[in-house]
Structure 1
Amino acid sequence: MSGRSTTIRVIDADAVHAALSYDALIDALGAAFAAMPDDIPPRAHHHLPPARPGASDGTLLVMPAWNPRAIGLKVVGVMPDNPGVGLPTVIGSYLLLDRETAAPLALLDGAAITQRRTACASALAARHLARADARTLLVIGAGALAVHLIRAHVTSRPGLARIRVWARRADAAQAVIDALSPAERAALDVAVVSPDALDAAVADACIISAATRATVPLIRGHLVAPGTHLDLVGAYTPAMCEADAEAVARADVFVDGREGAAAEAGDLIQAVAAGRFAMDRIAGDLADLSSGRHPGRRDDGQVTLFKSVGHSLEDLVAAELALRRDAGGA
C-alpha cells in the first residue's frame, strides 16, 4: 500500500460485507496467522465513567496491529445507554494507516469488520479441528453474529447439511433462520430448537457454535458427544461462561491468542477456578494450526474446543482485504 495520498476512503457496513466473502477471508486469515508476527500487543480495556449524571459506565476497547504494509487500529465502545438514543450497545470504527508513513488509508465500519472476522476465525479453526464428515451445526444465540457463523462454518465445512438454531426465545432463533436467503434455506435443513430442548440438540451436534453473553453455562460437558467440535465465541469476560468446566476438561483446547484467552476467556478462567483446567493445557492457537506446528484434530473421537476472544490481527487482515476489494482489487 502507498501512503503518498492523504485521501481517506470511507467504507460503510454494507460495503464491508460486500467486500469480504467468507472463503476469501478464511484463507486470508489462515495465511496471516501462519506468518504471524510476535510483536502485536494485546487488546487494551479502559473504563469510561459516566459522561453525564445518571448515565451508565462504559468500556473503551483499543486493538492495534501492524504488518509490513499497514497499521490498523480498532476502537470499540461498549455503551449500555446507546439503545436509548437509537444506537447499538457495541459501536466501533476501524482506522487503516499506511505502514511507512502512517497516512490514513481508510475508515471502515467496525461492527461489520468484527462480525466477518469473528465468524471466519471460527471457521478457520473448524477447518483444522472439526471432523471432515461433520453434518450438523448447532448455533447457540441469536445475536448479530449468528447468521455469519452459519455461513462461515458452512463455507469451511461444506458437508454441513443440518443447521439448528437455539435461543432463549424461539422467535429470536426463527429470525436468524429468516435472515438466511431463500437459496440458503433451500440448500440446508434448517430448524429452530425449542428453548427447552437445548440439551438434546447439544448431544446431537457435530459442531456447536455459541455466541452469547451467558453467565451460566449453556453447554454441559457430559452431554457432548465424542468427536464434537465446540466453537465458543461469547463469554468475553471472566464473569461469562457458555460451556461448563466438564466440557473444557474433556476437550483439547485451542485459542486465537494465548494472552487474550488467559485474561478474558470466561469459560477457561472458570474451569481453572474449578480445578478442571490449567492454561498450560492449551493445545495450540490459530498460528500453530495455520502454520502446521500443530496438526489439529487427531481422531474422530476427540472433542475439540476453540475459544475465541478476538485477535487484532484478524481485524487488520479483514480491513486490508475490504479496502483492496472495495477499490476494485482481487
Structure 2
Amino acid sequence: MTLPQLAVDLTPAQAVEALESVLLAGLDPEEGPPRSNLAVPAGELLLMPAATAAYAGVKIAGVAPANPARGLPRVTGSYLLLDGPTLQPVALLDGIALTSLRTPAVTAVALRRLAVPEAAHLVLFGAGPQAYGHLDALLAVRPLTRLTVVARRAAPAAALVGYARALGLDAAAGTPEAVSGADLVVCCTTARTPLFDGRAVPDHAAVAAVGSHEPVAREVDGVLVARSALYVEARSAALREAGDLMIALRERSIAESARLANLSELVNGGAVVPTDRPRFFKGVGMAWQDLAVAAAQYERSGLYTVRSNVPSST
C-alpha cells in the first residue's frame, strides 16, 4: 500500500488550537514516553512515539551536524500516522515541517498565558526556520508591534527583519542587551552556553528557550532561572533533557524542590502566574505534540472519515 503524503499546512493558530484541545481534554504530558536517542556515525537518530485511542504515530528524526556544509538541512525526519484502533498506517508527513510548526505552537500556548497583557516587544534569538515559525506563532496569539532579532550572522538577521517589517512590525537587528527592554524573549538557537545576562531581563517579561533537548546545553543562565517562575511541557521530560534547568540544579542556582508547573496545569488554570518576576518556559519537544498536530492535519484532509465509535481527536 502506498501511503498518502500529507502536506503540513495548518496555520499557527490551528496548531495552537490542536495542542490546547488535547490538554483541555485531559491529556497528561507527564505520561508521555521518553525520546529515544541513538548515536550514529553521521550524528544522532531520534525516535518519538505517541498514542491515544484515536491515533498513534512516530517521528523519526536525524541530526547531522555536517549537513549544512553539504547544502543539506541539519535536521531531517518523517512522521508516520496510524489509526488508533487498528494501528493501520494512514498517512506520512514531513517530520521537519511538522516540527517547524508544532514547536513554535507549543511556545505560543505557553506565552499567551505567561506574557503580560500589554506585551508588544519580542526579542528573538536566532534567525533560522524556528525563528520564523516562532514569530508567526506568537503573532497568532499576541498583539506584537516590535521585534528585535539577535543572531550570529548579519545576513540571516537582516532577512528576518525584512520579513517582520513586511508583516507590519517595527523590526531591527540588535544585541543581547536588548533583553533589558523586552516584554517577550524567545531563544531558538543551537547555542550551548547562555545567550544573555539573566539579570537584565525585566520582572514583567516572559522568556522561552526551545533550542536544545540536551542536559549539557542551555540558552539561559542560572541567574534567570533562579529569578523566574518556571514552566515546562512536563516535569518528567524537563528533568531528563532540559539543560537550562538541569545545569541550574547542578550549579545550585535552584533547589531540587523548585516548582515546575507543566503545560497542562498552565492551560487548565492550575498554575500560578506571577507578574513580579520573570516567567520562564523551557521546551524540549515531546511526542504527544507531534501526534496532536499530525492528527489535526489529517482530520482537515480529504482522507479523513469520521468514525461513529472512536473519538476523532487526540
Q: Same fold (TM over 0.5)?
A: yes
Residue 90 of structure 1 deviates from its aligned partner by: 0.9
Counterpart residue type for residue 42 of structure 1 = P
SS at match of 1:253: strand
Maintained 8 Å contact 2:164/2:171: no
Q: State the TM-score, normalizing by the size of structure 2.
A: 0.91
Residue 313 of structure 1 deviates from its aligned partner by: 1.0
Candidates 23, 27, 51, aligned match of 1:36: 27
**1:104 equivalent in structure 2:** 89
Number of aligned residue pairs? 303
**Structure 2: stretches of 5+ with no match in the other structure:** 307-314
Percent identical: 36
Residue 100 of structure 1 deviates from its aligned partner by: 0.9
**Structure 1: stretches of 5+ with no match in the other structure:** 1-5, 51-55
* Runs of 4+, deviation exceeding 6 Å: none
Counterpart residue type for residue 167 of structure 1 = A
Distance 1:75 1:192, change over 3 A: same
Distance 1:321 1:279 in 2: 37
**1:297 equivalent in structure 2:** 273
Q: What RMSD over aligned residues (CA atoms) do the two structures have, in Å?
A: 1.9
Maintained 8 Å contact 2:81/2:89: yes
Residue 209 of structure 1 deviates from its aligned partner by: 0.3
Whether 1:165 aligns to 2:157 is: no
**1:284 equivalent in structure 2:** 261
Maintained 8 Å contact 2:235/2:260: no
**1:148 equivalent in structure 2:** 133
Residue 84 of structure 1 deviates from its aligned partner by: 5.0
Deviation digits for residues 170-228 of structure 1 (CA, Å, limit 9, x no counterpart): 2221122334583x1xx2111111xxx321x0100000000111122112111111111
**1:192 equivalent in structure 2:** 173
| Matching of residues 38-77 of structure 1 within 5 Å | 39-48=31-40, 50=41, 56=42, 58-77=43-62
**1:311 equivalent in structure 2:** 286
More moved, 263-272 vs 277-286: 277-286
Distance 2:257 2:98 in 1: 31
Maintained 8 Å contact 2:165/2:171: no
Deviation digits for residues 126-168 of structure 1 (CA, Å, limit 9, x no counterpart): 111111110100100112100110111121112x111111101
Residue 80 of structure 1 deviates from its aligned partner by: 2.5
| Matching of residues 196-211 of structure 1 within 5 Å | 197-199=175-177, 201-211=178-188
Counterpart residue type for residue 169 of structure 1 = R
Distance 2:208 2:137 in 1: 12
Distance 2:287 2:259 in 1: 20
Distance 1:278 1:45, change over 3 A: farther
Residue 283 of structure 1 deviates from its aligned partner by: 3.0
Whether 1:324 aligns to 2:291 is: no
Distance 1:63 1:243, change over 3 A: same
